Structure 1
Amino acid sequence: MTSSPITTIVFDLGGVLIDWNPRYLYQKLIADEQQMTHFLSTVTTPDWNEEQDAGRSIAEGTALLVQQHPEHKELIEHFYGRWPEMLGGPIQGTVDVLTELRASGRYHLYALTNWSAETFPVALEQFEFLHWFEGIVVSGTEKSRKPFPDFYHTMFTRYSIEPGQALFIDDNERNILAAQAVGMQTIHFLSAEQLREELRERGVLEKA
């Protein structure tokens, strides 16, 4: 089966264009690497963080976790209190790819991100390239998130995107499979170099 021509490219943000990692903060707060890993995997877990990404307020999420783990109150409160320290900066190789795609003028560029509505303004202020997209759909604002189909469909409807002509780039395989299920073409992001090579193979970027 031949894929439809690509007219639209949709980027995930964290882990693809922006280096975000709670370890950048917690390595300053928990000296022992093993203890830090244990804390991040059993207390401030990815599942807990995703609830804020899906629209639960930071205040509510923090209060709930402190109630469950009162012995870690201060460390839990730092998760969002010092959240900007989790931003490691742009993933420059991917930003370079985005720059080339933008310059070509051949594609509509959008972003679909699992991100708290309360912290996303920090990223908007810090990363100029976020203003290059024709639109960004933020999970915390929509009260839904990847991998739920309705979140993808919100983007399709809002920006009149034909799923089969859209290429979705994400570092989370769960989100990639969900995108495929709603009809999108996909690239499972592993590195900027791998992304560039796959885009060349698809004729999206010119070959070197």
Structure 2
Amino acid sequence: MTQIDHIVFDIGKVLIHYDPDLPFSRLIPDEAERRWFFDNVCTSDWNIEQDRGRTWQEAEALLIAEHPTHEENIRNFRRHWHEMVPHAYDGSVAIMEGLITQGRDVTMLTNFAADTFTEARGLFPFLEKPRGVTVSGEVGLIKPDERIYRLHAETFGLIPAATLFIDDSAKNVEGAKAAGWNALLFTGADRLAEDLKGLEVM
């Protein structure tokens, strides 16, 4: 059995909930109109560039130039970001904190804009408990690019073959495996606990 010496957690949808619909169901009540907005204006491809390091000012200016009639809601995406992360996943957080208490080496690797991650740290103090974190928006790389996994391993002195990554995205899990890590697809805290016990990590 593979010896796991390092556990690396993703954050969004593993430790904290994230859903842009939460504020926008109020801001754009019509579901079809809201879906159009996310499919054509504040798209996932647009948002991921903030995770890569683009500033919100640049991002908003780009979209406002293309969609001037949607300026208010374009700005609302960042303005109401805190409503998109309403709570932590208590079960996952308990697992992570338990591993730290056991003396396990725990770090985090996340696709996150730099400024919203600073805000998240204020909202969720448990994000300070692991040994450290690599934030995509701070390093200019995003998962599943193998380079961000290698950078994280180098930064924190991880042995790839002895590292276990936990992420809710299948492509990010595959990126970790391509970098020589072990990886689990997160589907819930109960399943994660079972998987970790099976690996003799907890």
Distance in 2 between residues matched to 1:98 and 1:30, nearest whole Å: 36
CA distance in 2: counterparts of 1:95 and 1:166, whole angstroms: 19
Q: CA deviation at 1:33?
A: 2.0
Cα deviation, residue 149, structure 1: 1.2
Letter in 1 for 2:139: E
Secondary structure of the 1:157 match is helix
- 1:177 is aligned to 174
Work out whether 1:135 is the aligned partner of 2:122. no
| 1:103-182 equivalence runs, <5 A | 103-105=101-103, 107-182=104-179
TM-score by length of 2: 0.97
- Equivalence for 1:9: 7
In structure 1, list runs of 5 or more residues that go unmatched: none
Equivalents in 2 of 1:182, 1:165: separation in Å? 12
Could you tell me the percent identity over the aligned residues? 37
Matching of residues 1-208 of structure 1 within 5 Å: 2-3=1-2, 5-105=3-103, 107-205=104-202
RMSD: 1.0
SS in 2 for 1:19: coil
Distance 1:194 1:42 in 2: 35
Whole-angstrom distance in 2 between the partners of 1:40 and 1:197: 36
Q: CA deviation at 1:145?
A: 1.0
Alignment partners' CA distance in 2, 1:95 and 1:38? 34
Q: TM-score by structure 1 length?
A: 0.94
**Counterpart amino acid of 2:39?**
S
User: Residue type of the partner of 1:143?
Assistant: G
For residues 37 and 133 of structure 1, what CA distance do their matches in structure 2 show? 36
Which digits, 9 at most, give the CA deviation of each residue in 1:79-101, with x for residues without a partner? Answer: 01221111121011101111211
CA shift digits 1:26-47 (9 cap, x unpaired): 0110111232222122211111
Amino acid aligned to 1:194? R
Rounded to whole Å, the distance in 2 between the matches of 1:33 and 1:92 is: 30
The letter of the residue matching 1:164 is A
Q: Provide, for residues 48-81 of structure 1, a one-character-per-residue CA deviation record: whole Å limited to 9, x for no partner.
A: 1110000011100111011111221111110012
- Which secondary structure does the structure 2 equivalent of 1:118 belong to? helix
Distance 2:100 2:153 in 1: 20
Corresponding letter in the other structure for 2:169: N
